[in-house]
Amino acid sequence: MKKVNLTRRELLQASGAAGLAAALPLSLSAAQVAGTQKAAKSPVGLSPLKAPASGAIPVAFVISKGAVVIDFAGPWEVFQDADVPGRDMMDDAFELYTVAETPEPVTVSGGLKIVPNYTFQNAPPPKVVVIPAQNGDSEAMLQWIRKATETTDVTMSVCTGAFVLAATGLLNGKAATTHHAAYTDLEMKFPDVHVRRGARFVEEGNLATAGGLTSGMDLALRVIGRYFGTEAIERTAFQLEYQGTGWRDAGTNSIFAAKPKGDICAVCWMQVDRKIVLSEVYKGQTYYFCMTTHQDAFNANPNKFIALLASS
């Protein structure tokens, strides 16, 4: 008897097919049983993207030292498990690969080591690029992102990956978001970028930025929706047992737009304990800092940080 090796996605779909059909909302299970594909309906506020007639959509994940695992693993899992109505489960909708400056293993957050699939010199051209938070932003990386973005459908950052995307210059004059603790830093370092506080994601043409960490999964779901319609998002989220609905509305991160009450770091707005953190007096007012680098950033342009605090 021939042994068949299934991927995790195929195993889940094969073993759970009967239960899944019964558990899905009627509109989804009916489409699955009938094998029909409804006309793609894009999520509100999005322009549809044209999926290829055949084959998978190439998605490149740009990584360097310190890349935050959930920032790239979350979207990776979403794209891997994309469940497209009318598409054979053996026919993956997306082809995923990692790209780095060298082929050497990359140590990412928590000490996990990743062996890149490609380097910037030999990576195939992607239609989607994912940029997680990471420590690297070498000129080779920035040049590759600029070049790739000339032909991508979507180049998206997750969390403080927005700083890498901003460093390419592609976000100049455009709106973007990032992790809520980095709003001010992004504004200060890249004054030509219009930072949207409290946005779970921001989409600008073929550029897109997600807020912190799990926000990248919602942005990845939206990319699936742009290619294959809202039903594909719902089916994928069901398959993932993902109950978040942030992909529907960028405003779901609005809580992070408000300045927290009490003592906060003057740079990142993280709540702090004044008894143990750094502090200094400027023009008669005491300001607190969660780390030395934030104190240094404040001292480089205190009036700007004070203005941002006062306006929020």
For the chain, what are the domain ranges? 46-256, 259-310
Q: Which of helix, strand or coil describes residue 52?
A: coil
Residues 133 and 161: beta-carbon distance below 8 Å: yes
pLDDT of residue 146: 98
At 131 the pLDDT is 98
**d(Cα 89, Cα 192) in Å, to the nearest integer?**
44
pLDDT value at residue 42: 55
Give the model confidence (pLDDT) of 183-215 as tens digits.
Answer: 999 999 999 999 999 999 999 999 999 999 999
Encoding tokens for residue 234?
């719902």
Q: What is the structure's pLDDT at 90?
A: 77
Tens of pLDDT, residues 77-123:
999 999 999 988 778 999 999 999 999 999 999 999 999 999 999 99
What contacts 258, CB < 8 A, 6 or more positions away?
198, 312
Per-residue pLDDT, 31: 41
In CATH terms, is domain 46-256 a member of 3.40.50.880?
A: yes
Q: How many CB atoms sit inside 10 A of residue 206's CB? A: 18
What is the distance between the alpha carbons of residues 148 and 145, in angstroms, rounded to a whole number? Answer: 5
Q: What is the pLDDT of residue 109?
A: 97
Residues of the chain with confidence (pLDDT) below 50:
1-5, 11, 14-40
**pLDDT of res. 45:** 61
In sequence order, the 6+-apart residues with CB closer than 8 A to the CB of 304 are: 188
Nearest 10 degrees: Cα torsion 268, 270, 275, 276: -70
Q: Which amino acid is at 94?
A: F
CA distances from 8 to 11, 77, 80 (A): 5, 11, 10
How many whole angstroms separate alpha carbon 190 and alpha carbon 294?
A: 16
Record the tokens describing residue 164, joined without a space: 């890498």
